Amino acid sequence: MINKLVIDTLKPLGIPVGFQKYSGSDTTYITFHEYLQSGEEFEEDEEAFTGHYVQVDIWSKADYTTLASNIKALLIAAGFQRLNEADFYEPDTGLYHKGLKFYYLESKEVD
């Protein structure tokens, strides 16, 4: 559920988005993964809400400032909360890398 939500939400950017990896040839792309999933609230001994902690990574040889802003805007509009972000440089690939962490609370229907 969360993977489809991230991919569908970021689709309007027109940038390749891959779950955990990207194997294409574009020099700007996005990968993401869920680094934690946990029960957040319980009702009648059943999980009522699931917390999804997702990291979205931008990889680029160019300035990704606008792309990062657009990713944040789209995910926040889809119900995600931004937790934090960090900038990196990958010397082995020559790519600039930005990691953005988000939280999404999914409501479960309890029978």
Computed from CA positions of residues 78, 79, 84, 90, in that sequence, does the dihedral angle turn out positive or negative? negative
pLDDT (tens digit per residue) in 69-85: 999 999 999 999 999 99
pLDDT (0 to 100) of residue 27:
93
What range does the domain containing 6 cover?
2-107
Cα maximum dimension of the chain: 52
- Beta-sheet pairing, 46-60 with 17-19: unpaired
* Band (108; pLDDT cuts 50, 70, 90): confident
Beta-ladder partners of 47: 42
Number of folded domains in the chain? 1
Share of the chain above pLDDT 90, in %: 83
| Whether the predicted pLDDT of 44 surpasses 70 | yes
* Band (16; pLDDT cuts 50, 70, 90): very high
Domain holding 82: CATH number? 3.30.2000.30
| Whether the predicted pLDDT of 19 surpasses 90 | yes
Smallest Cα–Cα separation from 80: which of 48, 105, 99?
105
Contact assessment for residue 69 and residue 77, using Cβ atoms and an 8 Å cutoff = no
Contact assessment for residue 17 and residue 7, using Cβ atoms and an 8 Å cutoff = yes
Beta-ladder partners of 42: 47
